[in-house]
Structure 1
């Protein structure tokens, strides 16, 4: 819990510092323009990619396949889109990495590792019919 609290405190401070530095380097208007454009891109991607991920999930379920990859892709894409909507450049960089399929693949092993760890501790239980 302490790590999460430190994360909630440090990330906004770092984001503000990076935005202020960017404003000093490239100017206030270009900085604000970048923040607005990435926010709009995030909203657009959340809508389009979210619908696509839901359709892939539906297709996997209809075929009787485990929708593991479809769910993880959908969640990572959604999280990336939300990060793009948030103001700040660090969140934008992470959001772009999560939205792009080529770089999203780099995050999947970490998610699977985290899920396996939670399952071993009994914090996540899978039920099959």
Structure 2
């Protein structure tokens, strides 16, 4: 959490530093035009990625498959477009990397492996808490339900 906060605070400073270095190398207005062009490209990518993801998900559903991988690829493309929309060269480079299919595939595979490991871990813990039940009953073996038998008499006043 602390590292995330530190990154959150340092990221704008790094973006300004890189913008200053690029603007001294190529000039202020060309650097500003690059930032604006990157943002416009990001908006276009977000729109196209959303539509493409929706169409491929619908196609997968029509085939009777779950569109999990297409959704993850679409999410990565949308994240890349969002990073392109942010002003700055560092976020633009990260966004462009997410738009490359090999990088997206690598990240999707890592996310899938991590999700599978998490599911296996959760299943392992869930099995420890399963208690065998009596056949035809929801009462666990070795336990009787908390029922107190008795009689009552209704008295009117």
Deviations 1:28-61 (A, max 9, x none): 0010000000100010111112101111111112
Q: Using the alignment, how far apart are the partners of 1:100 and 1:43 within structure 2?
A: 17
| Greater gyration radius | 2
Range with bigger deviation, 4-13 or 25-34: 4-13
1:87 and 2:87 correspond = yes
Taking structure 2 as the reference length, what is the TM-score of the superposition?
Answer: 0.70
Deviations 1:93-125 (A, max 9, x none): 111111232432232233224434544565xxx
Q: Which residue of 2 aligns with 1:11?
A: 11
Q: Which residue of 1 aligns with 2:128?
A: none
Q: Which residue of 2 aligns with 1:40?
A: 40
Structure 1 residues 1-129: aligned runs within 5 Å: 1-119=1-119, 122=122
Equivalences, count: 122
Q: Which has the higher contact order (CA 8 A, sep 6+)?
A: 1
Q: Using the alignment, how far apart are the partners of 1:120 and 1:11 within structure 2?
A: 36
- Could you tell me which runs of 5 or more consecutive residues in structure 1 were left unpaired when the two chains were aligned: 123-129
- Could you tell me which runs of 5 or more consecutive residues in structure 2 were left unpaired when the two chains were aligned: 123-157
Q: Using the alignment, how far apart are the partners of 1:120 and 1:5 within structure 2?
A: 31
Taking structure 1 as the reference length, what is the TM-score of the superposition?
Answer: 0.84
Q: Using the alignment, how far apart are the partners of 2:114 and 2:88 within structure 1?
A: 27
Q: Which residue of 1 aligns with 2:133?
A: none
RMSD (CA atoms) = 1.7
**C-alpha spacing 1:64/1:41, structure 2 compared with 1 (3 Å):** same
**C-alpha spacing 1:114/1:32, structure 2 compared with 1 (3 Å):** farther
